[in-house]
Amino acid sequence: WLCVEKRFDNEQRLKLLQFVTGTSSIPYEGFQALRGSNGPRRFCIERWGVAESLPRSHTCFNRLDLPPYTSYDMLYNKLVIAIEETSGFGIQ
């Protein structure tokens, strides 16, 4: 979370929340009240992929899949690309 706390501005934090959960607002009761497709579902981070990959999310499960990046800067840059360059499912 150091990357999110220290380098992200509030707009980027909201975009990250939306990228992972599908919503840009935190429930009134806090993160413990996040819900998924089958009821309560915690925000979680899983290791996935290779360092060259972008992060991916599963909004139904409030899950962020992060590749094993080799540096803090790489993590920051890949997260920014993921949250700034994505929107929805891409269905036409």
The residues annotated with a catalytic role in the active site are 60
What is the bridge-based pairing of β-strands 63-66 and 44-47? Answer: parallel
Which DSSP category does 53 fall into?
S
Cα–Cα distance for residue pair 43/58, rounded to 1 Å: 10
Which DSSP category does 8 fall into?
-
